[in-house]
Amino acid sequence: MARAPVLAAGGIVLRQAEPPLIAVVRLRKRNEWVLPKGRLDDGETARDAAEREVLEETGHDVCVHEFLGTLVYESGGRSKIVHYWRMETSGEQAYELMDDVRAVDWLPLDAAVERLSRSYERAFLEHVGPLALAAAALSRVSRPARAKKQPAAEKRQRRQVVAPPAALPAPVSTPPQPDLRPLASGQDQRPLVDSDGVEVETSAATMAPEVVAPSAEEIEISAATIVSPVEETQSGDHAIAATTEVRRINLVQKVRQWLRRAA
């Protein structure tokens, strides 16, 4: 009667380095270098058994990833079926090794293949080792990079908001206001032109003649000129009265012209 096969589970355990390293363990009983693995306990799943056995034989906490394959071989007159998962560890050894393990070594893929004592494990690792390395590299690339925490002081500096400088008001040029005062009668309103034929800008001071108010003495003299001849006309001198009337008219015209210019 055929005996039932032995079920076991283990891992291709990687540690991040350049190049990545693979764990191989040295058994105390036969002094052989093998991949970390072990038998399933009653009611235990193959995946849980693989994680437990790797922790006991390497002393490292591991993270279990995808399934890599199954290795079947003859051992002690019985078939042995071993399922392997890709695993990774990033820390140092956390636990003591089990009694059956003498040492643990971390080697690059090619050196790990050469270190294994059993030919069927060398063939298996040579076949699935590159797949494990490629999967690990792909997972590191696709893993979102975590933002580094910034110091509190730097955060406060970045939160400070600098107010923009107040904009200075632009100077507004006031257009010159035209002189709306009426020109004196008889004044020429044509623009001034220099000797080269260029029009010269004229101001109110240039266009409007200066008006000087008569002094008090001038007004008194004018009044005397008006009044005194009138008194002489009362004596009957007709010629002097006519002359006085002409002077009065001339004086009235001058006063009117002065008032018109002052306006």
* pLDDT exceeds 80 at position 16: yes
User: DSSP string spanning 123-155?
Assistant: HHHHHHHHHHHHHHHHHHHHSPPPPPPPPHHHH
Separation between Cα atoms, residue 117 and residue 25, nearest integer Å: 11
12-21, 126-135, 253-262: least confidently modelled range: 253-262
Separation between Cα atoms, residue 219 and residue 124, nearest integer Å: 137
Query: What digits encode the pLDDT tens for the residues 250-261?
Result: 777 777 777 777
Higher-pLDDT residue of 30, 56: 56
Confidence of residue 181 (pLDDT cuts 50, 70, 90): low
Answer yes or no: are the C-beta atoms of 12 and 35 closer than 8 Å: yes
Q: What is the mean pLDDT of the chain?
A: 74
List residues bridging with 104 in a β-sheet. 25
Separation between Cα atoms, residue 183 and residue 154, nearest integer Å: 75
Helix (H) or strand (E) holding 65: strand 63-75
